[in-house]
Amino acid sequence: MTLPAVEAAALARPPARDALAALAPAERVKVIAEVKRASPSRGALAEIADPASLAVSYQTGGASAISVLTEGRRFGGSLQDLTDVRAAVDLPVLRKDFIAEPYQVFEARAADADLVLLIVAALTQPVLHELHALILELGMTPLVEAHSAEEVERALDVGASIVGINARDLSTFELDRDLFGTLADRIPSGVVRVAESAVKDAADVTHYRAAGADVVLIGEALVTGDDPVATLKSFLEAGK
């Protein structure tokens, strides 16, 4: 699809759902539950023939938003997965991908995304500004991901209202479960703090809650378990 065509498709969609309200800080941790078939660090995780059905399970289990991997080569996802999920649930849906250009932002809105992930480490500051502004202009919500103090500052510099701290270093795939606690205080009150990666059980949710997380993003632990609804409910109970 050409850029003018995808722009027109994006502008023709109904308004995005209010993800910022859905993820606003509350008395308990909220969960973004992820549809994730594979990862570069672990390879294939789960056969997900019906991502929409999985998303409905997440909604039943109490998720506040759904994340959908749309990158195909390393994660086995697609924009069709996102569109199918968005049609099946009432929750805001995140496009999780390596977003690097405006075309992908228009593409996300055309596919009915409500949130779009921006990875600070992958973008220059001018491009981060440009993409962040475009996401807002199209009525969506940016989730800006950081992995260091400098990247948190860059996220805040563009006006991010939701900042994710990824415990995984995307260049080495190494995990640092204490990174969130190290960086959380750099994120001011009023900005939603999201803990990403390294959530394998309820104890990890409790850990992140104590460190100041408003939201945790969970994928692998949900798609590899036998009962995503029960698993999600146990995680939410741990985040009270």
Under a CB-based contact definition with an 8 Å cutoff, are residues 34 and 164 in contact?
Answer: no
What is the DSSP-derived secondary structure letter of residue 226?
S
Q: Which residues of 161-179 are buried (b: 16+ CB within 10 A; e: fewer)?
A: bbbbbbbbebeeeeebbeb
Active site residue ranges: 34, 36, 96, 145, 166, 196-197
From 187, 165, 178, 173, select the one nearest 207 (Cα to Cα): 178
What is the DSSP-derived secondary structure letter of residue 185?
G
Residue 54 in tokens = 């999985």
> Helix, strand or coil for residue 124?
coil
> Angle CA(81)–CA(83)–CA(86) in degrees, nearest 5?
105
Q: Cα 60 from chain centroid? A: 19
Reported in sequence order, the residue ranges of the chain that DSSP labels E, i.e. its strands, are 30-35, 38-39, 43-44, 65-69, 93-96, 115-119, 141-146, 162-166, 192-196, 215-218
Under a CB-based contact definition with an 8 Å cutoff, are residues 33 and 200 in contact?
Answer: no
Rounded Cα gap, residues 184 and 165, in angstroms? 8
73: number of Cβ within 10 Å: 8
